[in-house]
Structure 1
Amino acid sequence: MKIMKTVNRIPGGLMVIPLFVGALINTLFPTGAEDLGSFTLGLASGTTPILAVWFVCLGASISLKSTGVVLRKSGTLLVTKVGVAWIAAYLSAQFLGNGMVESGFFAGLSTLALVAAMDMTNTGLYASLMGQYGTKEEAGAFVLMNIESGPLMTMIILGTAGIASFDPRLLVGIVLPFIIGYILGNLDEEVREFLSKGIPVLIPFFAFSLGSSIQLTVILETGLLGILFGLFVIITTGIPLIITDILIGKGNGTAGIAASSTAGAAVATPMLVAEMVPEFAPVAPAATALVATSLIVTSIVVPIITGLYAKKAGKVKFFRKRMKAEVQKEIAT
């Protein structure tokens, strides 16, 4: 059987297929992994440890001379993603304030839902996609993008930064595996070569674990609005991200598409914000459902369109010349 060849024919297949399988199993047998326990449970719920190992391997693959490229790309994507969420929050607040649409097709839509879904990138998904379709420097751009994670950035965007508390140790915990790999890879070329081989191998395992945390039935709760909401997040954030990746990040736009998803951590954000700012409590349940649907939709759609876009962009002469120049510059330095 040509399983690998079939998977590679599907845009983002290395991510999409394991993710969908995990989500389908979790939907049909929500307690299946827990009932079986042991290694099966570890595989289904191992998103964090799998990503931790993946980030060590990724860090080891990046050389010291390419660090500036990583910071430029990650900073570009971070500022663009947060900037778009700021604009969406401002415009939405003019009509909805702290409330939500109470009836009709858009019932449940709120500023809180928009910001929570838009301001956080699924960095694991992004890094995995760029590991498949981009450069190791583009994949390493997740480092600064993790600043988006958690309710802090959402609170800042909503104008309540003084209420939320942020423990700097959490950020250290996020980037430490990457830094360890980075140091080891730059101390020894053999370590870099050894750990770099783990980057593509771990992608489907992360995807399955991520899918195992998703219930496909959440789409039924929000209906067509939830699906359109997820697509809206991709389009609204994706277009500016593509433009800035090309103009500032010096990429071909693929990283912009890959960064247009909703993070898994974003699902918990509405409730966390409501705990700190009680006026958001009435809209938090509906916002949570919409953000969860956006997570599902973007987790499935973003890998597909990233694969399609990367294929098309790779045929553009301008982008091929730019990539060649970047490689030659790296070799020269």
Structure 2
Amino acid sequence: MTSRTARQSYGVKSAPYGFLLPAGILFTLFFALPIGYALWLSLHKVEVKGLGLGKNARSEAWAGLANYADALTDSELLNGALRILGYGAIVVPVMLGLALLFALLLDADRVRWTPFTRLAIFLPYAIPGVVAALLWGFLYLPDVSPFFFVLDKLGLPQPDLLDGGPLYGAMSNIAIWGGTGFNMIVIYTSLRAIPAEVHEAAKLDGCSQLQIALRIKIPMVAPSLVLTAFFSIIATLQVFNEPTTLKPLTNALSTTWSPLMQVYQDAFVKGDIYSAAATAVIIAVVTLVLSFGFLRAANSRNRQEEAR
């Protein structure tokens, strides 16, 4: 083999790595390094000498797992986790149920104006989360909301949507309103990929539209349902925009209502980036474990159904 042929062979073999190099650099700079830095911060703390006023009075010191122990024993963090579980118990099933219902309706034969309806359902997802939270927040305020004006004119009671139990429903409504369209598009795309021959065979067998939906369409789009549930669980565990934006409108929301809000308070209000990093790592690990467990359970159920 000549040297020229060897260089050409080497160039062909190394070409895939050249294409992967930009993605690898971006992954390292904006994903791997921040994670590594957060892990490093979580294992350190600030050590104060004397009154803490001198030039070298504050220094970083090794803390080990002390920050993790403090975070795991913090009652406010645990209460925030429980609040998120209650919030997720409302958001995830309702949002996925509506997304599946809308996708099935749009895929029905008798539906008209499908492109317009699909766009109208998806459009709330295009609105930034902060803008959506502000919009709904003012609609929840009795003094400026047109809904409360109508209720007042009709002599009907005006519930306080930003306090107590209704607060969970009010925040869940924001997430459901904004996320249903995205999940609907994912499920609807899977429905459109079902071969037309399957529909025709079901109709020849005398199946109604409801039977086709329950026995054919939903089982065939199960992977899309698992995918949308996976993303919904992650988004629920990381909720931040809705409670943070609604916080100035009500006293029922604390500054640590959700775990991510506590991370923000520790890092940017208290200035304790080390505790914030430990809490962020815990949230990431819990999110990973729950997501992985959900995927394992879903895959196990699919294998059992295929075995039957």
Classify the TM-score, shorter chain.
Answer: under 0.3
The TM-score, its normalising length taken from structure 2, stands at 0.28
- Which structure would you say has the larger RCO, counting Cα contacts within 8 Å and 6 or more residues apart? 1
The TM-score, its normalising length taken from structure 1, stands at 0.26
